[in-house]
Amino acid sequence: MRIEHAERFSRRIEDYLAALQAGEVNAICAHFAPQARVFSPFLGWMDVRPFFEAVARASGTSVLTLLDICVSTRGRRSATGRFTYDWGLKDGSRVCFDCVDVFDFDADGQIEQLLIVYDTHPIRRDVGDKYA
């Protein structure tokens, strides 16, 4: 992968995570291609806007701490972002977990697919049906 692609993908991930932390649905969605999809361990495959609207409805103040970004060395337009998600929920409770997001980008550098990976077992009892 050329260096400029790595820098562009890294910046896109950093900007996406900043918008996610701020809870700004329009700013989040601006990073995605129109046909993009998101996979969530809780909600399965969803279109981008409905997914992030559900996240916003469930969320209060959250803090995301970026740990690393790894860009494909195999010529794919993909990268991963590893971060700690200190997720504040609307009811005031907090859930903290490590997360890896797998991003696939289109030719313009927009996110066309996001696969969210984290262990839901320890947090399911705390989050429950708060997406509803």
User: Where in the sequence is the domain holding 123, given as residue range(s)?
Assistant: 3-127
Among residues of the chain, what percentage have pLDDT more than 90? 70
120 within some domain: yes
Query: Is residue 132 a part of any domain in this protein?
Result: no
CATH of the domain at 123: 3.10.450.50
Which tokens hold the place of 111?
Answer: 């996110």
Least confident of 76-85, 101-110, 121-130: 121-130
Under DSSP, the state recorded for 107 is: T
Total number of domains constituting the chain: 1
Tell me, letter by letter, the H, E, C secondary structure of 7-62.
Answer: HHHHHHHHHHHHHHHHCCHHHHHCCEEEEEEEEECCCEEEEHHHHHHHHHHHECCC
Confidence at residue 4, expressed as pLDDT on a 0 to 100 scale:
65
